[in-house]
Amino acid sequence: MLETNDLEKLPQEFPHIFGMVVFQIVPEVSYDDLVYLSQIVKTKQRTELYEPLADSLRKIQWAKLAGLGANAIEKEMTEQIDDETILVEPVGQVQHAKAVIDFVTHSKAALDSIAVFLNAYFSLGESGGNRDFRRGKFREQTVNADVVIGKHVEHIKAWIDNLIAVRDEWIHRDSPWITLTGPLTEVGALPIPKRVKSRFEEVHTPLTRQFYWSTPEFIEFHFANLVSLFNTIIKRCIQLEAVGLSELPARSKLGGKPIVATPFRVTQDMTAKKLRLGQRTQMFLGGGSLKLE
């Protein structure tokens, strides 16, 4: 529990513009960079422009949580499988499939928010559904708008196409069809087909990395690419926004413990005497940053 005098230590203004994000969930993103960019953006009164980028980080966080859930289920089931046992765990399989599709859905949603941000930031002129990396014209505009971000988009274009294809198949035409296997192979207990349309061919496909992801490999592949794009944009925006400023914020004064901004509404007049961390927050943050492995 936090002490009463901790109320007096709360900042009068949050040092960043990234609300509803628990930064310990996504240690892959530099909190220091987020605060530094936020200070510059506030100085230039461009906070509203960055709301889609802040929204993308919220969705990256949701994807991370879903990925952690899928990995936890796979690990739990792996520990129950041996060479003499056929594991029957339909509830676990259904929960795993839900976690995987949640992960893919939130990852694509984060990519969409990034597209909305880049469209506004570089004044690309697109609107509605045309602000989407699936659109060849939009992707070309993004690549041409900035040499740094454009080079990175080109570098990860195969991943972008793969994420879009997987999401579209599982949302619009089918759903994750992930078979529990045993005894274990190199692709784990719950291998994910690399060909999303291979549902009825799966029984004949060798259980190897050529044809399947293990669950942790699938999560890591998509999450690492998504975070790399987000981090590239954050660092590039710091460079671009710094142009023309006579004085930049001092990084040494901006660091420290991450400050989470989540909404709270007081329902009646009260005098608060203490702050208490909720049980879920204590459980999640007790061990520090959350890793996918």
Residue 213 phi, psi (nearest 5):
-95, 145
Mean of pLDDT values over 22-40: 95
Q: Determine the length of the chain.
A: 293
pLDDT at 143: 98
Name the pTM for this structure: 0.92
Distance CA 226, CA 222 (A): 6
Q: What is the Rg, in whole angstroms, of the alpha carbon atoms belonging to the chain?
A: 22
Where do the structural domains in the chain lie, given as residue ranges?
23-82+89-174+218-247
Distance CA 150, CA 90 (A): 44
Confidence of residue 195 (pLDDT cuts 50, 70, 90): confident
Confidence of residue 35 (pLDDT cuts 50, 70, 90): very high
In this model, does residue 107 exceed pLDDT 90?
yes
Distance CA 80, CA 59 (A): 32
The gap between the terminal CA atoms of the chain, to the nearest Å, is 30
pLDDT at 284: 77
Confidence of residue 293 (pLDDT cuts 50, 70, 90): low
Distance CA 57, CA 29 (A): 9
pLDDT at 2: 43
In this model, does residue 11 exceed pLDDT 70?
no
Distance CA 160, CA 155 (A): 10
In this model, does residue 121 exceed pLDDT 50?
yes
Convert the pLDDT of each residue in 242-281 to its tens digit.
Answer: 998 888 888 756 657 888 889 989 999 988 888 888 888 8
Q: How many percent of the chain have pLDDT more than 70?
A: 91
Task: Considering only residues 168 and 200, tell me which one the structure prediction assigns the higher pLDDT.
Answer: 168
Does residue 275 sit in helix, strand or coil? strand
Convert the pLDDT of each residue in 138-180 to its tens digit.
Answer: 999 999 999 999 999 999 999 999 999 999 999 998 888 899 9
Tokens 């530094």 identify what position?
A: 36
Task: Considering only residues 257 and 19, tell me which one the structure prediction assigns the higher pLDDT.
Answer: 19
Convert the pLDDT of each residue in 207-254 to its tens digit.
Answer: 999 999 999 999 999 999 999 999 999 999 999 999 988 888 887 566
Give the residue from 150, 120, 128 showing the smallest Cα distance to 46: 120
pLDDT at 202: 65
Report the alpha-carbon angle 237-159-168, nearest 5.
110
Can you give the three-state secondary structure of 39-81, one letter per residue?
Answer: HHHHHCCCCHHHHHHHHHHHHHHHHHHHHHHHHHHHHHHHCCC
